[in-house]
């Protein structure tokens, strides 16, 4: 009989600057710092719990178009071009560390942070701090750098790769805002697959890998990324770039019709020669209004038993 990895629902429970206020009818109402936004959410198949007046209090509503991820923001009230948010990262230091970063509205409905992924930040920060050895981490598709900064704050040497020059610039601003300017972070604007192919040839090895790929994307030179076609090849290259004693691999997939068990089995295959364990499941956010769970992404992760 095939043994399947444990299935979990992961919540990021330490947020103070973010709340899922309500959801339903294909929408979600969220607080990012001092602002409230309404965004499309196809998973919200139920009815809203809050009255219309609470939804009308939103500072902005994202109006989608037929094109995937396309649309525009309809601003009801003034919103700063960017504003500061923070997250209390659970480090072992006597004084808790706050990861600080800039949030802003973007044409693609996102605001620079995926709050549910903070569950992974906590997980890998704990592994890095208790490893009792130098840890080299690779963050592919690193976006605005929050996972990179969490790993660096915990003591890792990090390489951050993203094809978007704008995202990497945003990430470096977040580094400065968090007071992590002296941490050993390499910022790379490059197509993830091409970068990893070169790392394999150079013999560069990593103890931890974070994979947060988009459903579809293009590299800086027009390279096409399609998650179902490209991810198996990327897993193969990442396996070749793992150290002899890897610490963790975390993969998170958004906006795809993939089951977490499929991702977990692919990751199990990738890590079969190493001694460790795998789990998988969904990243979820608990609603403040009716205590319902909203699924945001599927994930699989492996970590060492040593």
Domain range summary for the chain, segments of one domain joined by +: 83-304
Provide the pLDDT for residue 255: 64
Provide the pLDDT for residue 129: 94
The Cα–Cα gap between 143 and 162 comes to 6
| Poorest-pLDDT segment among 65-74, 114-123, 212-221, 262-271 | 212-221
Q: Which long-range contacts (CB under 8 A, 24 or more apart) does 94-102 make?
A: 97/153, 98/178, 99/146, 99/149, 99/150, 99/153, 99/178, 100/174, 100/177, 100/178, 100/179, 101/144, 101/145, 101/146, 101/149, 101/174, 101/177, 101/178, 102/144, 102/170, 102/173, 102/174, 102/177
Averaged pLDDT for residues 142-165: 96
CATH 1.10.3720.10 is right for the domain spanning 83-304: no
Judged against a pLDDT cut of 80, whether residue 88 lies above it is answered with: yes
The Cα–Cα gap between 91 and 301 comes to 20
Provide the pLDDT for residue 190: 93
Averaged pLDDT for residues 187-195: 92
Judged against a pLDDT cut of 50, whether residue 64 lies above it is answered with: yes
- Residue (of 197, 229, 234, 233) closest to 212 by Cα position: 234
The Cα–Cα gap between 233 and 214 comes to 15
Averaged pLDDT for residues 139-144: 96
pLDDT tens digits, 35-51: 999 999 988 999 999 99
| Poorest-pLDDT segment among 45-54, 88-97, 190-199 | 88-97
Residue 100, classed as helix, strand or coil, is strand
Provide the pLDDT for residue 257: 60
Residue 72, classed as helix, strand or coil, is strand
Count of residues making up the chain: 306
Cα separation values, 306 from 24, 252, 276, Å = 44, 24, 7
Output DSSP code: residue 116: G
The Cα–Cα gap between 8 and 279 comes to 7
The residue written with tokens 């480090």 in the block is: 91
Task: Check: CB of residue 29 under 8 Å from CB of residue 304.
Answer: no
| Poorest-pLDDT segment among 85-89, 175-179, 273-277 | 273-277
Judged against a pLDDT cut of 90, whether residue 232 lies above it is answered with: no
- Residue (of 170, 148, 149, 141) closest to 99 by Cα position: 149
Judged against a pLDDT cut of 70, whether residue 226 lies above it is answered with: no
Residue 288 — very low, low, confident or very high, per pLDDT cuts 50/70/90?
Answer: very high
pLDDT tens digits, 244-284: 999 999 999 886 566 787 788 888 889 989 999 999 999 99
Task: Check: CB of residue 151 under 8 Å from CB of residue 208.
Answer: yes
- Residue (of 230, 101, 255) closest to 174 by Cα position: 101
Averaged pLDDT for residues 272-300: 94
Q: What percent of the chain has pLDDT over 70?
A: 91
- Residue (of 21, 104, 18, 103) closest to 55 by Cα position: 21
pTM of the model: 0.92
Averaged pLDDT for residues 134-157: 97
Provide the pLDDT for residue 124: 96
Residue 30, classed as helix, strand or coil, is strand
Averaged pLDDT for residues 50-61: 97
Provide the pLDDT for residue 1: 44
Residue 91 — very low, low, confident or very high, per pLDDT cuts 50/70/90?
Answer: confident
């Amino acid at each position: 009989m095939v043994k399947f990895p444990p299935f979990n629902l992961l919540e990021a429970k330490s947020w103070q600057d973010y709340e899922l206020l309500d959801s339903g009818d294909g929408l979600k109402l969220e607080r990012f710092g001092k602002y409230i936004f309404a965004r499309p959410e196809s998973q919200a198949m139920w009815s809203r719990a809050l009255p219309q007046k609470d939804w009308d209090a939103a500072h902005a509503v994202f109006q989608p178009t037929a094109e995937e991820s396309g649309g525009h923001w309809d601003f009801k009230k003034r919103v700063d071009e960017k504003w500061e948010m923070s997250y209390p990262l659970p480090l072992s230091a006597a004084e808790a560390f706050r990861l600080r970063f800039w949030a802003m509205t973007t044409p693609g409905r996102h605001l620079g942070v995926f709050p549910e992924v903070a569950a992974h930040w906590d997980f890998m920060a704990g592994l890095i701090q208790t490893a009792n050895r130098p840890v080299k981490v690779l963050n592919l598709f690193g976006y605005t750098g929050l996972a990179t900064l969490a790993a660096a704050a915990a003591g890792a040497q990090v390489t951050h790769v993203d094809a978007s020059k704008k995202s990497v610039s945003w990430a470096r601003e977040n580094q400065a805002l968090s007071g992590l300017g002296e941490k050993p972070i390499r910022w790379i604007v490059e197509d993830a697959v091409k970068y990893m192919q070169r790392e394999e040839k150079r013999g560069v090895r990593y103890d931890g890998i974070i994979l947060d790929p988009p459903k579809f994307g293009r590299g800086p030179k027009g390279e096409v990324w399609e998650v179902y076609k490209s991810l198996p090849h990327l897993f193969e290259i990442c396996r070749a770039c793992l150290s002899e004693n890897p610490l963790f691999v975390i993969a998170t997939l958004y906006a795809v019709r993939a089951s977490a068990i499929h991702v977990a089995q692919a990751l199990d295959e990738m890590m079969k020669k190493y001694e460790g364990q795998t789990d998988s499941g969904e990243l979820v956010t608990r609603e403040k209004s009716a205590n319902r769970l909203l699924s945001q992404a599927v994930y699989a992760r492996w970590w060492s038993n040593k």
